[in-house]
Structure 1
């Protein structure tokens, strides 16, 4: 068996553009950008002038030399075509496609010529295809006036409340020729069990009948059998396997599984672990151990996925790990991610919740969509089966809630909306192909079709009254079982914003903002928590601080309810372009203040004031004991009352300590604060919102000194310093800092490590607007 990639020599043409050099894998937008025909759609308002690309027919063309070989079959293997494509080889139609979410294989040996060959892939307009089917099947309700439910393509290409409308086309994953004889492994699907058993299921494509030898080897254990047909199963058992655990609970040992059929061999990595889902409580158990999910939602990291390399994924998933995250939810408006994504999750111990690609809209169930959905689901459930990180399949994002609560039923007038997918087709495919993993029909979902889908008492909920209408303190009114979406917006890093906008000077309006009434919600969300900004610099800082506080408030609230609540999945980890959004890491990969706040809120141990108590959250397998030091203090740091309480927190549990009245009730809420310390962990809580606190003018000593990899910035508080932060990307776009949003009492110091390869102005590094705090005296 041989494989030859066909990635060279491609050109791109349309009715108005001829012979443009094209990159494969890639897409039309990136080729046009590389040729200088379009401006970068991520900058300024360029996006709005590019709608024509998604309404144009595009042709990719290449030539290649071929010579006959000893094999019986040669297939054109297309790992990803986006989306409505017609393929021709030497002028003969090979096949057509209409699904970005699956791969295709076409037999072409009979069309190949000794010498030169020409391959063309013509992409029809995704808009034209989707709009034609919408007209034929009837419009379906959704959040945007876009036809994405009528094409099996990444939905957020058509725009979202955080993403641009950039409707792509192109050969977005590898394409090549595979030659083989006799038989090949069309599918290898291992079902893995914690006792060491591996059931290897295979599908075989063959050119001849007769017996074939199938073998599997893992950890020195080998099994084989004779295969006569086109499907077979083979069992192998590893004695005493080391179990794979999510990060924070153990190690992630991975085993090489080699499966061979004749000359065809597949090499997979698997891990041994069990998964159990308690449905009403929505509690995940891995290897019998309940896991409190500290999750983030994942969206496509770029509107043009061919640009997302393994290195970029490693950086992004590493940022998740460093923030204390143990689960990524791959959101249903995007993609089944690349093999690299799941490989990295396996290695890092990140659990993966995988949505099927349906989001926020009613979807037609008629043909050709039912067959396309079945084909993509079968392929991807089988493809992802080896990965121990993948722990759940979910039917859709918010479509069950939409049908129940968003007025869809009257608008549908009896038309299909996706129920047959979520309650029948998809669970049937998962049960058939991957019974080792649970399936959940959608999120939010309460466990049964007849129940209100967003009921906090059951299953998963999404909380969006906060941000859209309510102050973030409303999180305290919830007592959910599992929160699969919640979040709050904040702008990207300064350097990201500066790169994306040519405005002089920058204003809040310089930032891409896709959410309805988003700018007003940002300001309204400051509420009584923080002052209303008068300058761009204050707007940028205060709205970032408020985003971090809002999400921290929610995470701490929900973690304090463990084991009733067993998971939070923050919306969202990442962005696909420079934009004001709910992300912790912005579209240029820079960590926002939210990321640092999330790292504290997702730490294994947490102190949090809740309803007059102090919640001590211990998510480690060891108990947590010691003396809890409580103090009511003046803003100068002087103690007004002290209490010491002996505490013991059992492993993976929460203990609540009632705050004595001496420290819980201030004499003057505007001039006092509470500190709680247990060992090295401390929390500071104010008795009033910042706008009602008599915050002193910021007074501090600060200096910067050279250190390995950059600078150490030492800040010593003379007065109370509230939410002290350093933004070194204002001086060097590549600079970063190790900590953010630190509150210091008078006399306390903080050391910030700034990483940069450049020489920075030490004075600029220790002054406004790089060094910020809420109570600073602004010039």
Structure 2
């Protein structure tokens, strides 16, 4: 419910839960449950599907529907005296009994509840999760529109996740059960927190912390102080049970997003007599929206620095349990930090994340675009009870994340206005009290430091227009526009973009989906599609495969399935890297792009750039290159040649050598040039290829004075002092092509104090080089390698043990792959 704690409170999770499933309505109370009912162990926090899967009773291939049944959970507790029973989330229609007394009824899975209970020995805590189906199908006023994406318009009346209700891309997971922690709280004194309002604001070189504490218990005569960053300030009594105060700090370090600076966090405490209240951590950052000179843009400015928001839409790490351990969350988020991500979006079709998620994003500098959990549907806010529940849901979420500097955008929901507009409704139907009044009022009261957007997408003559406000951009992608559309569409901020059926690596397919790619029904069942469309996202990927490599995807899939998969992986990587090259160039109007989405919900060729097992796909490695804080990209400007774009997002100046060359047959330089460049902090530069070469050369093969003289252009940005490659970029004036040539790769296996690594080199340009190793994951993959450059690839074991590297390195333009193993 909140990230604050008190030394006067002992919080203990309730363990030892068992679960059972009964026909809907067969038992009204725990006393009516059959004596021979079959109970099985259940982890809390968790879901019924997760418990069934752990018990071997549920799988993606044989899902068990639950929404037509009642699910029961029970646990034994012992104690004496008054305690607080805390339920952080019950999905979704829940009744809670202590022995035979009903103590709680909840109809919103996103609400937390605290119930006082008097214990006198041994007790049984029982929860009945009632069937959603009857409530969802109950007769109610008709919605203004129906969503083709969501299975069941009755869901608009239920405050539950849409996961499991979107058959085009989500596995059939019925979310039922105690999906958030259940705890008991014992107090050692009467003084305890009812509510905390905590704000932190940077002011010049310093900052101010403001606090309002609503407390229960006797405060008479107790000295109270606010403590932060080694300083303290007295708290004043504003009213009975309320303390207020502020602490001015002369010097604090600002909190900046990943790649733009450091992320210092400061602990805040209050001392009231002998009781210490831990109020969490704050970061000092100011965030604003820059709409540009024409007032049509959308970009974030953090502590005065414009930020290019690059990242993806977050998906739960475990769609069955809807909970991930803190260790798993930290590992997943650290991987994104290290890959140059600056932002994650939590979409309204998923769930609010745990406190640990936001705390780790605070630590790692990952901005969070947070949708409230509404999407696509016409929600019944005219119902006073529904509206009140929504307001409380927003209030609780904002309170528990109130101190988080990572929260960068708060958004009314996903594709609500878009749904109405695409169905032909007029502009007055695109908004309403939910996103126009209730949610922004909650934000204004509790997080006025965070910009609010009514919806994703939002802005323009149509709410999904790419050239104004926030868009879901699928011109490159679902709508199969040419790669140039990424510039032509004049995208301002893409809160969703670039969805493809991204093919997992062989290690995942061999272990979790060992079926013929594309042809097998199990493969197709896990391929995303828009419900009702005559195509799926493999058709989209195949379109770009043909465009980039000049082959017939259907024929290639039939005649050489392994090469088809390799070129499919290369395709989505190339398209994503090329799109972000357009968006990150100086002069681009685009201020952010978030890929749909981060991690697959089940193994298969899903939208995720990371598969369901946590294995990065080719698209992830492309994004890691595209998201480098010190970046070099190239764009084809036709008769104007190639333009090289440099960016330095970091707070430090960069002195580097920029080199450029054109290679014939991937090996022989036919033109080259270089210069020393200085990139000040937070700067960008643009240079033409002619300026580097010093004379005319048809680098883009636009003039066509005779046959082409080269087939690849290579640009490299290297640190001037050390020679370390900071970034590189490549251009193919004749297209990438599918022809294979006798590229020779040398692969050397090394081991040092940091672990295993590969040293890879090529005798000529090697395209989309990738490592295939069942036991080890590389730290870079699906990259281009020019001749004359060694590349060291660190290897991380996928599991504990004494395995040694043994695999192969391949390139999509190479005739053969090259095996390696330890001596």
- Residue 685 of structure 1 corresponds to 731
The residue aligned with 2:126 is 120
Deviation per residue, 1:178-221 (Å, 9 max, x gap): 34464531221201111322221233456x89898754322331
Of 743, 747, 752 in structure 1, the residue corresponding to residue 784 of structure 2 is 743
Aligned to 1:668: 707
Q: Which residue number in structure 2 is paired with residue 436 of structure 1?
A: 449
2:688 aligned residue: 658
CA shift, 1:549, in A, is 0.9
- TM-fit CA distance, 1:398: 1.9
Partner of 1:536: 561
Residue 305 (structure 2) pairs with residue 289 (structure 1): yes
Deviations along 1:79-130, one digit per CA (max 9) or x if unpaired, are 1111110011121111200111120112322xx3x22212111001223322
1:221–1:238 contact (8 Å) kept in structure 2: no
Flag the 1:97–1:358 CA change in 2: closer, same or farther, 3 A: same
Structure 2 residue aligned with 1:26: 46
Picking from 200, 206, 209, the partner of 1:192 is 200
CA distance in 2, matches of 1:273, 1:439: 16
SS of residue paired to 1:15: strand
Which residue of 633, 641, 644 maps to 2:663? 633
Given that residues 606 and 618 in structure 1 are in contact (C-alpha distance below 8 angstroms), is that contact kept between their aligned partners in structure 2?
Answer: yes
C-alpha distance in 1, partners of 2:382/2:426?
18
> d(CA) in 2 for partners of 1:642 and 1:9?
69
- What residue in structure 2 maps to residue 455 of structure 1? 465
Say yes or no: does 1:202 pair with 2:213: yes
Q: 1:748 to 1:105 in 2, by over 3 A?
A: closer
Per-residue CA deviations over 1:419-458 (Å, capped at 9, x if unaligned) read 21111111111111222222111122127xxx42233343
CA 1:595–1:157: 2 relative to 1, 3 Å: same
The yes-or-no answer on 1:477 pairing with 2:488 is: yes
* Deviation string, structure 1 residues 209-235 (Cα, Å, up to 9, x no partner): 989875432233132222544655332
Deviations 1:234-272 (A, max 9, x none): 322223222222222222221111135675734311112
CA 1:744/1:269 → structure 2, altered by over 3 Å: closer, same or farther? closer
Q: Distance in 2 between the 1:506 and 1:427 partners?
A: 45
Q: CA RMSD in A?
A: 3.1
Number of the residue aligned with 1:96: 105
Which residue pairs with 2:539 in the alignment? 520
Residue 149 of structure 1 and its aligned partner are, at CA, apart by 2.7
CA distance in 2, matches of 1:249, 1:378: 31
Report the structure, 1 or 2, having the larger helix content: 1
Q: In the aligned structure 2, how far is the partner of 1:407 from the partner of 1:250?
A: 45
Q: What are structure 1's unaligned runs of at least 5 residues? A: none
2:810 corresponds to which of 756, 771, 777: 771
Residue aligning to 1:253: 264
Give 3-state SS (helix, strand or coil) of 1:93's partner: strand
TM-score, normalised by the number of residues in structure 1 = 0.88
SS in 1 for 2:340: coil
Secondary structure at the residue paired with 2:86?
Answer: strand
Report the secondary structure of 1:385's partner residue: coil
Q: Secondary structure, in 3 states, of the residue corresponding to 2:697?
A: helix
Q: Which is worse superposed, 341-350 or 556-565? A: 556-565
- Asked if the contact 1:364–1:418 (Cα under 8 Å) also holds between the matched residues in 2, the reply is no
Structure 1 equivalent of residue 395 of structure 2: 378
The 3-state SS of whatever aligns with 1:603 is coil
Cross-structure match for 1:316: 332
Mapped contact 1:54–1:166 kept (Cα < 8 A) = no
1:7-406 pair list within 5 angstroms: 7-15=14-22, 18-36=38-56, 38-41=57-60, 45-47=61-63, 50=64, 52-68=65-81, 73-109=82-118, 112=119, 114-132=120-138, 140-147=146-153, 148-159=155-166, 161-180=168-187, 182-195=190-203, 196-205=207-216, 215-218=225-228, 219-226=230-237, 228-229=239-240, 233-259=244-270, 265-279=277-291, 280=295, 281-367=297-383, 368-406=385-423
Q: TM-score, normalised by structure 2?
A: 0.84
In 1, the alpha carbon distance for the partners of 2:216 and 2:197 equals 15
Question: Please, which moves more after superposition, 701-710 or 114-123?
Answer: 701-710
Matched residue, 1:572: 597
Contact 1:355 1:396 in 2 (8 A): yes
Partner of 2:631: 606
- The Cα of 1:383 is off from its aligned counterpart by 1.1
Change over 3 Å in CA distance of 1:559–1:698 after alignment to 2: same
Q: Deviation digits for residues 399-427 of structure 1, max 9, x if unmatched?
A: 222222343569xxx9x886211111111
Could you tell me whether the CA contact under 8 Å between 1:506 and 1:536 is conserved in 2? Answer: no
Kept in 2: contact 1:189–1:383 (CA 8 A): no
Partner residue in 2 for 1:426: 439
Deviations 1:690-741 (A, max 9, x none): 23x765243334454556676443444234321111121xx33xx2012212
Offset at 1:373? 0.9
Counterpart secondary structure, 2:593? strand
